[in-house]
Amino acid sequence: MIQTTFSDKADGNADADSKQSAAERGRRTSVVVGEFIKGSEMSSQKSLSLTARARAQRCLAWLADSPGLANFMAGVIVVDAICTWVDIDARAADAPPADGALLFLDLSLALYTAELVIVLCGRGALKMLTDWIVLLDIIVILCGYFEIVLNALGPTDWVDRLHVMRALRLARIFRLLRLFRRIRALRELQKLVTMMATCFRTLAWSFLLCFVIMTIWAMLLVEVVHPIIEGMPDTFVSCAFCRESTGSVMSANLLLFKTVIAGDGWGDVAVPIIEHSPWTALIFVGSLLTLVFGVLNIIIAVVVDTFAEARLKDVENLAEEMEHDLEMNREELQELFQRIDKDGSGQLSLEELITGARRDPVLQSRLR
């Protein structure tokens, strides 16, 4: 009797649970169906407009990423730089610039504008405005149009001084560095450009360190060597720079940069002073050893180490290089197999492999 009661209660609870779960499933199904019905209430005209917009954006994105457009704009940038060069030389010589150069400068500005519109519409304006190259393009294009407006207002002195803004278009030459990542034949040049871009921050801090060390030696030169030079008026009669090189810390910095870093006339100042006071060799030779054999070599070591570390972390570039090497390896193997395929059947038999291993030096080197 007790067991029957417990079983009836259990069956009742199970039926209640099943009814509750069925109700919940029904509610969830109605909600899902309701969401799908609401999503399908979009008008066909709006759907077609969104589809057309997506297709247009897809086409613009394909055009923005196409290598043909990049190569064409690279050629435009090079010719624009040459025309700017000719224009600057003509203005410096007070001669009228060539009409063809001015026409191409205006045409290139229109092409830059069209390219910028394609990039912003194809890749997304909010996303591309975070790229410094795109911001540089916008600044250069705005300066170009601002120059056209100033020229339309009339030739005045302050307008002529603003023609230097045309030289800002030369900054677009840096966009050619993007092509080096696509042209695998220029691997050495690509490494140099990548190393410069990767180690730019390291170079900046290295220059600061070099300036600090050089300033310390410059202070010592002003405090110690400057009184000695004032006591040698007849030695530096024909060299005004030698007499004034230790008059201030910045002048001594210029002296160290000129003689130690650039290697220009180290003995003109150092040798007469060392002959007059031999103990000053500690300052001149010490600054030379510290800056040249110390700081500059440390800078080179740090730059190389930074580039090596960045290269190991650049997985995408390593994958591209491995894919390029794999493709080159496939082409070499294809030529090798075609060479040892004597009957031209497209298939290698065991006899052809053995014969190729005996006679072909390339296959022998690969088998080793």
CA-based end-to-end distance of the chain: 88
- Tokens of residue 307, six digits: 């580039």
pLDDT digits (tens, 9 = 90+) for 230-283: 888 888 888 888 888 888 999 999 999 998 888 888 888 888 899 988 999 999
Q: Which of 105, 106, 86 is nearest to 95 (CA)?
A: 86
Given this model, what pLDDT does residue 2 score? 39
What is residue 278's three-state secondary structure? Answer: helix
Q: Which fold has domain 59-181?
A: Four Helix Bundle (Hemerythrin (Met), subunit A) (1.20.120)
Between the CA of residue 47 and those of 32, 55, 59, 123, what are the distances in Å? 22, 12, 18, 22
Tens digits of residue pLDDT in 280-297: 999 999 999 999 888 888
In tens, the pLDDT along 309-368 reads 877 777 766 777 788 778 888 888 888 888 888 777 777 788 888 888 888 888 778 777
- Domain map (residue ranges) of the chain: 59-181, 200-313, 315-367
Burial of 260 from C-beta contacts in 10 A (0-12 / 13-18 / 19+): buried
Give me the CATH code for the 200-313 domain, please: 1.10.287.70
Supply the pLDDT for residue 222. Answer: 93
pLDDT band at 1 (very low <50, low <70, confident <90, very high): very low
